[in-house]
Amino acid sequence: MSAHAKNSPAHVAIIMDGNGRWAKRRGLPRLAGHKAGADAVKRTVEAARELKISHLTLYAFSIENWRRPTDEIEGLMRLLKEAVANELDELRKQGIKLNLIGRWRELAPDIVDALENALEVTAGNNAGTLTLALNYSGRTEITDAVRKIAGEAVTGKIKPSDISEDDVAGALYTAGLPPVDLLIRTSGEMRISNFLLWQVAYTEIWVTPVFWPDFGEKELLMAVEEFKKRRRRYGGLDKEV
């Protein structure tokens, strides 16, 4: 099952890190970094479309982020609502479908309403899929999947002994999405941070020291070019070995 990654990845996931440090280095408040990060999201979505990456998944807000100061969280939520409103026409124009994963329905009602509207407006788009992980945690996702499957077992819909990896994958938030080919992390941190724990089992990982607000087409292209050089063995041996 060895394969050389000759083609561009179909599904790229990004841990967008470094907004706060970007702002601190410039003597700016953290929220300024998040605003600059929102601009980086727009650039990256456009770059992904140009590179014909059909699925882009962004780690936008984790469950752990609720531990941050209240004013920062409120600012992030305002930015989220503004971004959805401001970019909706562009997503529709480009034919990009919005998808959401995580416990996003637990966010404030006005934000949930805005997100549901965006989902509805872009539902018929088929030029690409932008997935935002909101109020997301990889462990919570797996826990929710276990609860779903356990419920089916209790009602007799499935036997515990028959539960397969496909059943687990189908109970995850990402059911229906293709496998993640490439995981990008900005700001140089070497950790997954509770993101897509099941999905990245055999994903290629590329880390850049660039802070997220400075990320754009150049960095995405570098990641894709590196991906093309990788040999994906999936636990097996290369034929050349």
Domain boundaries in the chain?
Answer: 3-137+179-232
- Tokens standing for 212? 């997220």
| Rounded CA separation 200/183 (Å) | 8
Over residues 158-185, the mean pLDDT reads 97
Active site residues: 17, 65
Residue 8 binned pLDDT confidence (cut-offs 50, 70, 90): confident
* Of 4-13, 27-36, 58-67, 134-143, the least confident: 4-13
CB 2 within 8 A of CB 194: no
pTM beyond 0.95:
no
CATH fold label, 3-137+179-232 = Undecaprenyl pyrophosphate synthetase (3.40.1180)
At residue 132, the pLDDT reads 98
| Rounded CA separation 204/227 (Å) | 7
Instruction: Quote the percentage of the chain above a pLDDT of 70.
Output: 94
| Rounded CA separation 219/116 (Å) | 31
